[in-house]
Structure 1
């Protein structure tokens, strides 16, 4: 064992001991022949974490495991910062406890970080667990920022085998669910801002890494499974976090979602409630419409959707065939995917209907909440005002195409 470990893995936790145990065991199983340490920062867990984490960690990582236990729940950022201060290595790896490592996850990240001095931070391809109806899908490929300065996971829910998923890409920020970076850079950026409440910390850190002149790279050769949002209360503070991000980073965020879209052959459009989404250019939409008009079986339709996940009409077509055959759960899954790529009222109504039929309470709640929010925000009459403000903001940045998109909403054709 070396005096200094190669890297320090910092894992913030709050309850969910079964997830932490599985994470630690997979970390041990798939990180062989490497001297590293694990620092678990416990936000006052009241479950088995309090009694079982230390003995398991010491058994899995002899001499290289530390448990920091706090008297109160300090939230994600403060826990990570405390873990970083306690870490012994000059290289930090922040990891959520709702992750599972896969074989060979580590070498591509280390090689990418060491190969180019311009790279300040790297992260893996995060994927959702395999789903019998959805297959293997992307959870995280990097973070882009929309014109209204909302962060967005690039190509979330794309099939894992899609060519764009295997493309290395520099991004504006990486999720802290699995993030490698030098400790000195983390410290120079001020660590994670502790004003956030379990969300947004990683986006601001990414922005500050960029300001230091470094790039951030998603390395898809490294794959980690992410269950996503398993911590209790994970999404309870989205409005607060969005406000803090804009207050602190308004002049630092770059609305780059349209750039990612254009580079990969797509365009940016706005839905009825001003939310941007990626879409096929009209010519490619016409090609798929032609295929649909010729009659398309379920198997061929499913194959085309694997090749082109943004062919939105294909989900409705496939869902209709599956429902007609009695596969309501399969139809619900297709409408769910459609809603992830472009939420609109028609899709959400169908998703709610199918979810109700097959007893999918989670997706039913998601669809009903979205529809209620859509009704509320439409009745408020604020959307035209917001569109006009964003158009002026985009023009001030010299982004005339985006300014035109918002000026022409809701008739805009996209950019």
Structure 2
């Protein structure tokens, strides 16, 4: 009798679980989401998976189209919760042993999910987040990983780099990419492959973030729990950065820059001692005034950003 019940339990387990849950957040990105879904279906073989799309209150007809797509599970939030909170909503319904957080503006070009899975199963150590080397449409390598936010990095990025560019003596640093794989601080949020057990232990995206830095903070927690974040050469994923939104370039730059700044404040508040957080809140707005050196941003947007910048010191 015990053998019978064991067999039933095993059958039920495989009925309600699967290997990979792919979670995609959508906010008015139907024009890129549809090709993304098609690329997953086309290239993913040899592994069972589900696709969960979390719609953040889109108004571009996404709901009408996605509700008719039987390839996906659709979750409607009714409002724009931001990137991390929406992913957490998808995680609540995910059945996979592994979770792939995937941007809607990505395209799979090979059996990337199976490659992620095979590496994760064979990794000798504690694996936290796993991601691939992202490409643009032309096949050029683009932002795929980074260092955890630090004040010294901001000094370099927002102060010394603009000055050196102004004197035309700036040299673009060489970005390292592995022949096979390498440990990094964090994997970009466009393609995060994580074992469900790691998320259960360390927690998923912190609800304080709306957009930007949420993956850095989560993967910082992975590190604190002894897990490695790894960049893997093998999966081929195109990231169509900037094609998800339709605002003007100048306005989008200011909006995204301000959101990133707010998220960096939250990151430092969650990860650093109080005195470091206070110092960062004091120095950082001064560094960001280098936006006035950017010729691609309109005067009106520069002025709007500057006002937001100094209000943020008080709030």
Q: Tell me the TM-score normalized by structure 2.
A: 0.70
Q: CA deviation at 1:74?
A: 1.0
1:185 aligns with 2:198: yes
Q: Which runs of 5+ in 2 are unaligned?
A: 1-10, 158-171, 246-251, 274-285, 311-315
- 2:41 pairs, out of 21, 25, 28, with 28
Structure 1 segment 115-264 matched on structure 2, within 5 A:
115=122, 116-130=124-138, 136-145=139-148, 147-148=150-151, 164=177, 166=179, 168-232=181-245, 235=256, 236-250=258-272
Contact 2:85 2:210 in 1 (8 A): no
- Note the C-alpha offset of 1:158: 8.9
**Structure ranking higher on relative contact order (CA contacts 8 Å, 6+ apart):** 2
The SS at the match of 1:44 is: coil
CA distance in 1, matches of 2:260, 2:27: 19
Q: Give the drift of 1:149.
A: 5.9
Aligned length: 252
SS at match of 1:93: strand
- Partner SS for 1:179: strand
State how far apart, in whole Å, the 1-side matches of 2:173 and 2:19 are. 33
Aligned equivalents of 1:139, 1:54: Cα separation in 2: 33
Inter-CA distance 247–51: structure 2 relative to 1 (3 Å threshold)? same
Bigger Cα Rg: 1
The alpha-carbon deviation at position 222 of structure 1 amounts to 1.2
What secondary structure is seen at the aligned counterpart in 1 of 2:142? strand
Q: CA deviation at 1:231?
A: 4.3
2:183, 2:49 → 1: CA distance?
A: 27
CA-based RMSD of the aligned residues comes to: 3.3
| TM-score, structure 1 as length reference | 0.54
Which residues of structure 1 form unaligned runs of 5+? 131-135, 252-272, 276-343, 353-363, 381-415
- Answer whether contact 1:108 1:219 (CA < 8 A) is retained: no
Q: Give secondary structure in 2 for the equivalent of 1:90.
A: strand
* TM-aligned CA deviation for residue 165 of structure 1: 5.1
**Structure 1 residues 15 and 141 mapped into 2: Cα distance closer, same or farther (>3 Å)?**
closer
Map 1:10-409 to 2 at 5 A: 10-56=23-69, 58=70, 61=71, 65-115=72-122, 116-130=124-138, 136-145=139-148, 147-148=150-151, 164=177, 166=179, 168-232=181-245, 235=256, 236-250=258-272, 365=296
CA apart distance, 1:33 = 3.4
Provide the secondary structure at the position in 1 that maps to 2:296: helix
